[in-house]
Amino acid sequence: MNESKLFKLPLKDNLETKNVLKQLNKTSRALAELKGVAKTMPNQNILINAIMINEAKTSSGIENIVTTHDEIYRAMISPNNTTPEAKEVVDYRSAIWEGYNLIKDNNLITKSTIIKIQEKIEHNNAGFRKTPGTIIKNTATNETIYTPPQTYDEIIDYLNNLEKYINNVDDDVDSLIKLAIIHYQFESIHPFYDGNGRTGRILNILYLVYMNLLETPILYLSKYIINNKMEYYRLFQETRQTQNYENWILYILKGIEQTSEETIEMIRKISEEMLNMKNELRNNKLTSKIYSKELLEALFFEFYTKIPYIQKQLNVSDKTAQKYLDILVDLNFLSTEKIGRERIYKNERLFNIIKNFDDNKIINKDNTFNIETVEK
Ligand SMILES: Nc1ncnc2c1ncn2[C@@H]1O[C@H](COP(=O)(O)OP(=O)(O)OP(=O)(O)O)[C@@H](O)[C@H]1O
Ligand SMILES: [Mg+2]
């Protein structure tokens, strides 16, 4: 059995090696650019919503919860009338929102924040592990890869240490390096029976926002992790064996750089499409009269809308809202269908942008090596 020691934080090693600093420079630049580009968007919720859909889908996909954008769309509208997988994805999105609101309100990331996120994902309140027996296993060979701390007391002790490390904002170590260490440590403590990966990935984005490296939760590593999954699992073990964190830190920093670049591209696409639609709406005789900045933003708030949303967001009567939407459907700005008893208006342009950015390898993923947390 592999019971290598898990060290407390902060680590004594020098983490800022030459290679790390070189990569850190590139990563910080990309992230700062993302922060800047995001700010140019008039309504932050548009970005948060669009980006979170793919994150929820991808992050759940690592756990083999595989669904499609069309199913997610249905689940968002009619949660009782959908596949369990799509529902998981929609719930995962609520878990990110919950975490984001918690740290905005409390300005701290605590054990209780972490528990609340995991509860939302797993739909149970088992909390931190109380019964020993949880191990990380390779499902193909059945071999034990890693045995995390076993007793409740040990787990709480490591978590208290991690909590202190996360919230110590005067550290000399760069926050992005700290993020890598926090992720490694959290996954190594593996405090829950299940959902540690998904909770840890949410913790990453909350930390970026907490440290003000981003203003809103718009950067997620799940796609990078799923596309580099073998490396991700391998590096846990390498780091554990060598106690040298350099490759692990480089892996995470590269992920943040790459993902920042992709996210910038997605934001640009959404912005561009909003601008196109704005011009088309203003240049058309039938829509120029109903055009407003608020209407445009309402159409991009989610990739679908409903009469009551428009009514509320534009402060108009339901008749007027209905009239606007009818015009937009007639001119092909929106498509419409009835789901259950509700009439839904879909912004296909936004829907397609979101869908096209979800090009990870979930479907063809290598199943020869999968890890699973199991009880012995
Ligand atoms: N050797 C390892 N040492 C420590 N942590 C590991 C190791 N291998 C994998 N992990 C972490 O364990 C997570 C899986 O744990 P768990 O099944 O509890 O989480 P999950 O959210 O249900 O799954 P997933 O991350 O696959 O979506 C991985 O995402 C990874 O972060
Ligand atoms: Mg699991």
Q: What is the DSSP string of 247-292?
A: HHHHHHHHHHHHHHHHHHHHHHHHHHHHHHHHHHHHHSHHHHTT--
* pLDDT(368) > 70: no
> Structure tokens of 357?
């950015």
Residue 361 pLDDT > 60: no
| Strands of the sheet with 144-146, listed across from one edge | 144-146, 134-138, 371-375
pLDDT confidence band for 229 (50 / 70 / 90):
very high
* pLDDT tens digit sequence for 122-153: 998 999 999 999 999 988 899 999 999 999 99
- Residue ranges and CATH numbers for the domains of the chain are 24-264+364-375 (1.10.3290.10), 267-355 (1.10.10.10)
Q: Please say whether the dihedral angle defined by the alpha carbons of residues 41, 42, 44 and 46, taken in this order, is positive or negative.
A: negative
> Is the distance from CB of 267 to CB of 357 less than 8 angstroms?
no
Å from CA of 198 to ligand 2 middle: 8
Is 63 a pocket residue for ligand 1 (Cβ < 6 Å)? yes
User: CB–CB of 221/260 below 8 Å?
Assistant: no
Whose CA is closest to atom 12 on ligand 1?
197
- pLDDT digits 0-9 by tens, 80-122: 888 999 999 999 999 999 999 999 999 999 999 999 999 999 9
Tokens of 151: 């007793």
- Give the DSSP H/E element, type plus range, for residue 88: helix 84-106
Cβ–ligand 1 contact at 184 (below 6 Å): no
Q: How far is the CA of 46 from the centre of ligand 1 (A)?
A: 30
What are 240-252's pLDDT values in tens digits?
A: 999 999 999 999 9
Instruction: List pLDDT tens digits, range 261-301.
Output: 999 999 999 999 999 999 999 999 999 999 999 999 999 99
What is the Å distance from ligand 1's center to 225 Cα?
A: 11
Ligand 1 atom with minimal separation from the 200 CA: 31
Q: Is ligand 1 within 6 A of the CB of residue 201?
A: no
- Strand locations in the chain, DSSP E? 134-138, 144-146, 304-305, 335-339, 342-346, 371-375
- Judge if the beta carbon of residue 217 lies within 6 A of ligand 1: no
The per-residue pLDDT of the chain, averaged, comes to: 93
Q: What is the pTM of this model?
A: 0.94
Helices (H), 228-245: 229-242
Residue 231 vs residues 24, 247, 338: alpha-carbon distances, Å: 19, 10, 45
> What's the pLDDT at 359?
74
